[in-house]
Structure 1
Amino acid sequence: MITDERKLEFELAIRKDLPRNVLVEAIEMFPIAAEQADTAVGTSHKSVANGLALSRRRQSRSAGILRHNIIDEAFEQILSRNGAEFVTSVPVEVTPDEIRQSAVYVTTGCFGQTMVGFASHREKEDAPSKNASRRALCSQNRGLSPDFFHPPEMFNDRKRLVLIMVRRDPQVLGKIASMTISLVDSKVESFICQWDINEFLAGYGAETAVKTKRPVAFKKVTKSFKDGKGDPAVTGQGE
């Protein structure tokens, strides 16, 4: 466990880099994405003659895959609108004397010294799945220093990863039960600390409130950071 003082330092460091509006839009759009996925899967059999309705188990699994992809699309648009630098690879220590660039196949943006991504879990205590991208990204959190980020004028070869963790309601496929801002350790096994996304958002203060509400629209993205990386489903690097 970390001390409350250190947790506060992490919290302030994240807010320093991560635009408030990224969280505002995630809170608004992620639940819509979940509802859209549930509706699409649950009513697909009605769109064709003699269509087949899926069993509860298959519907849940199919909705989960579609939900991840729609949230991924929404998240990519949120990052693009808010000026993120998309992350396609990160340095990973292979040996003490060797560092290699490891490809990132899940949507990840960077603001200052903060990388931000999203993942899903069944229970709040469940860390993200151990795929190659998550391991590579979370390895950047190795040995988190108390100040979390060094000042810009100091040498620092490492970013830090923050995840927006999404948990679906176990009873309702199209509903999100909770969203948390989470720091995961470099082994992707446990959370260093977590905050409810609404409580974390409140800490930004009213002075940075968004003046106009952006209409929700899932627009086509002509250029994706994944272009040229291959299909994650084929490479096996997907969520």
Structure 2
Amino acid sequence: MQFFRRLKPVQALSFDLDDTLYDNVPVMERAEREAYHALCEYYPQAGQWSQQQWADLRHRLMQTDPNLAADMTALRLATLEQGLLQLGTEAQQARQGAEQIFATFLRHRNNVQVSAETHQLLAELAQRYPLIALSNGNVDTAAIGLAEYFALVVQPGQGIRGKPHGDMFAVATETFPQIPASAWLHVGDSPHADVFGGQRFGWQTAWYRQGLYQADTLSVLPTVAFDSLQQLRALLLD
């Protein structure tokens, strides 16, 4: 564990989900593979592109539209619809196809195994702090068995932009107006979405260094960096 700023007394906690509380990489690999197979089965023209070419389109859309980059549901729907349109699919069928294949993706995407250690930590933290989840992704916390720990789950949509925009942090502070911004600690693995987003909103941040990102991608320093759930337990419960 490494401190970069003085940790002020913590009154509430927010958590990123994917790659912070569980390893999301194999989940996404499986979900994307199954979605691609379904896409090619129902829309054979989609097979003109490899799975990597569909991923390349998704990355291009992320780069050209910052709002899509912070909303994984909107991004995947846009990728499917735009790809089908580019391959000659009629507009209404492309929209319907995007929703159909996205439903397949979600079914596999919510097949997440959360460790007993994570369940135990969240259960103990929830007895001491208000817990919320702030995720740019589209995982269903009820489907993966985590909903019971969180008083609030905020994800992009209906005018709420994803992190690092302040919208999701603002929802949390509006829900718990008695807790000042400086008393929140946001826990996540993304230097941009979680650390930059949280610090810019006036929150404290705990960066999980064993996620997908390296230290050289930090644009601002977190309050604290940690490498394991045991370290987080020691910080917040011991």
TM-score bracket for the superposition, by shorter chain length: 0.3 to 0.5
Name which structure has the greater RCO, CA cutoff 8 Å, separation 6+.
2
In the superposition, the TM-score normalised over structure 2's length comes to 0.36
- Give the number of the structure whose residues are more often strand, by fraction: 1
- Give the number of the structure whose residues are more often helix, by fraction: 2
